[in-house]
Structure 1
Amino acid sequence: MQKIADFTSGELERFKDVQRLAYESVEAVEQQLEVGMTEKEAAALIKAYLDERGVDSYLHKPFAWFGERTAFTGFWSDFHFFPTNRKLEKGMPVILDVAPTVAGYTADIGYALSFGEPNPVLEKMRRVLLDIRSYILEAVLAENTFLEIYHGVDQIIADNDFRNAHQVYPRRVLGHRVTKTHTSFYDNLSLFGFSARQLQWLVPGVVQGLLRQSSPLWNDLKESDHTPIAGTWAIEPHLASQDGQVGAKWEEILVITDSTAYWLDDNVPHVKNIRPAPPKTIAA
């Protein structure tokens, strides 16, 4: 593993605090969802919750996706990511995603749920996503390259008859670095919903990737053909059903040091709330 300056334990606790706050916000909004609510209204509720609790800027403002939009069906430009007037219906899959910053510490989280009633496809996705979580950590500890790990995630997705949806994200990212910044008015400037801070690292990251230098992005391109780089990484595997009607993801911080790696917090909703697989029926 390539070595960079590590964060102190106190700084990692600050990242964890922000990540927990972000998850609290989407869990709180889950309880406020109603039939007929739009994606824009759900995203506004997330922002209001976080603004009231000390968030001073955003790496990106809240996203909310309902129904087939959770699978990124029909997403052919970056503008499709932003919340729309799509209305919520009972039984729809929902994804809530936000990246708040507090005093320079950023977390980026994603949360999947089924509104009003269980969805068997979504439940299977949750279990597969948990397998992917275990695989990613094991592969990083084994010092597989980011590129190899990405392909390994693809294989798990295919083996379970789902599609890779995170390849639709800008630069096809499975993950990206999150860093500590000095918050200023600059962080509150945005373009198309992305903060100036995010654009500041995203654009140079693309350039670095093209030059085959260390990039803050983790994808399936040549720029990720290297062993794990130490730092705090927001990882976001995203699955879609073959019919494009259901999508699910999680996103959380993976800590990589020069000697080890671990998830910043194992007490996250997609780990706590996983339901066991239904028992297999034994033929008589």
Structure 2
Amino acid sequence: MVLKRIEELRNQNLLDAILVSDGFNIRYISGFSGETGYLYISNERHVLLTDTRYTIQAKMEAKEFEVIEVSIEKNYGMWIGEFILEDNVKRLGFEDLHMKYFEYFKFNQMWKLKEWVALENSLNSFRMVKTEEEIKKLAQAEAIGDKAFQEILNILKPGMTELEVAAELEYHMKRNGASGLSFDTIAASGINSSMPHATPTNRKLETGDFLTMDYGCVFEGYCSDMTRTVVIGKASQKQKEIYQIVLKAQLAALDAICAGKTGSEIDKVARDIIEKEGYGEYFGHGLGHSVGLFIHEEPRLSPVGNIILEENVIETVEPGIYLPGFGGVRIEDMVVVKKDGCINLTHSTKELIEI
């Protein structure tokens, strides 16, 4: 099915061949999960090129591709140049948003091409709508995150450091079947929680702190993403007020999501609530993003999100309020977009928890 779409893309753009360099697209198209390689796809051949570290793995995973092992004697440029010559390639489609300039410069010197054709996000767009198999893997990844949240609630206490919180979350995700992390875990306490993407530090949790935990894992190649904010000790009235505004915004956005709407329409639902409560300037990021093989995919829920959502697109819904010198709240779920709503893959409670 994917190769058929590649063929359609080549025909639409009058391409003689396509060179795929983005690792996530390589995996999506071929099944190969190694870290290094290229796909060369033409009418004449479907080739996966990689080095000796991955050739056995490549032959196991990329069943529809001929696997070529590159070497110092015959590198990527030499192999692909040979294919280009044999296939009489004049127009080569390439991933201009991914390929590094030095790669392009080197290859352009080696190959005799009439035209390099920029594919922009064409290949990435293939990954927007998820299959049932992909959704099952995403759901399992998110379920692992839910389990980690339940575990951390039994561990959190004043005196723990943010780094210890992050380490515990990561340990429990891997213990429950994760192969890795979707991104660097965020564990931000006190005034640090006013930074949406704070890096965990040796700061110790104190009574009265907000603690925002944003984390995710990888299960069979697919990512999860969730955020929960708790209070260490008893929450103040202001903390309760901010938390409830964020929760109200998130629930309203979840109710509004369905296929046929744009990302900006959903973002506006949450943003309007936060702005009406007087905290609009403290919600600076977009409402959410898609998730798949990569943690930040399209389409996005943001003021400039103009892509119309389709069924079986995955989205995070993560409004927040971040007050400098005080702290911040973010609540995030991951959902599957459906015709008449969405299916929430995140099941951890969103009631304000006081530790």
Query: TM-score, length-normalised on structure 1?
Result: 0.69
Aligned partners of 1:175 and 1:219 also within 8 Å: yes
Shift in Å, 1:122: 2.9
Aligned match of 2:240: 123
**Counterparts of 1:49 and 1:18, CA distance in 2:** 12
User: Gaps (5+ residues) in structure 1?
Assistant: 182-196, 206-214, 276-284
Aligned match of 2:291: 178
Aligned match of 1:106: 223
Shift in Å, 1:38: 1.7
Aligned match of 1:228: 309
AA partner of residue 240 (structure 1): Y
Aligned partners of 1:240 and 1:246 also within 8 Å: yes
- Alignment equivalent of 2:161, drawn from 35, 38, 42: 38
Could you list the per-position Cα deviations for residues 92-147 of structure 1 after superposition, in whole angstroms to 9, with x for gaps in the alignment? 11011111011123210001100022333333333323322332134333844322
**Counterparts of 2:308 and 2:129, CA distance in 1:** 17
AA partner of residue 254 (structure 2): L
- Alignment equivalent of 1:246, drawn from 327, 339, 342: 327
User: Gaps (5+ residues) in structure 2?
Assistant: 1-124
Aligned partners of 1:92 and 1:114 also within 8 Å: yes
Alignment partner of 2:216: what SS? strand
Task: State the percentage of identical aligned residues.
Answer: 20
Alignment partner of 1:89: what SS? coil
Aligned match of 2:267: 150
Query: TM-score, length-normalised on structure 2?
Result: 0.56
Aligned partners of 2:163 and 2:200 also within 8 Å: yes
Shift in Å, 1:255: 1.1
Shift in Å, 1:44: 1.0
1:219 equivalent to 2:302? Answer yes
Shift in Å, 1:47: 0.9
Q: Which has more radius of gyration?
A: 2
**Counterparts of 1:143 and 1:16, CA distance in 2:** 23
Alignment partner of 1:155: what SS? helix
Aligned partners of 1:154 and 1:164 also within 8 Å: no
In the alignment of these two chains, the number of paired residues is 227
Aligned match of 1:53: 176
Aligned partners of 2:267 and 2:286 also within 8 Å: no
Aligned match of 1:186: none
**Counterparts of 1:34 and 1:135, CA distance in 2:** 32
- Relative contact order: is structure 1 or structure 2 higher (C-alpha 8 Å, sep ≥ 6)? 1
1:255 equivalent to 2:336? Answer yes
Distance 1:52 1:64, change over 3 A: same
Distance 1:166 1:157, change over 3 A: closer
